Amino acid sequence: RDFTWMYKQKGFPWLKDRGSADAEVKGLSLWLNFDIEGLSMSKGETPMRKNEEGKKQLEATNRVKIRHLDIRLHKAQAPAWLYNVLLSVFSMRVKTAVEEYLTSALHESIGSLTSAILPKAEEYLELALKADKQEGSEAAAAAGKFSSSREEEE
Query: How many CA atoms does the CB half-sphere of 58 hold within 13 Å?
Result: 18
pLDDT confidence of residue 137: 65
Where do the structural domains in the chain lie, given as residue ranges? 2-153
Report pLDDT digits (tens) over 54-71. Answer: 555 667 778 899 999 888
* Average predicted confidence (pLDDT) for the chain: 73
pLDDT band, very low/low/confident/very high, at 46 (cuts 50, 70, 90): very low
What is the per-residue burial (b if ≥16 Cβ within 10 Å, else e) of 61-73?
ebebeeeebebeb
pTM: 0.55
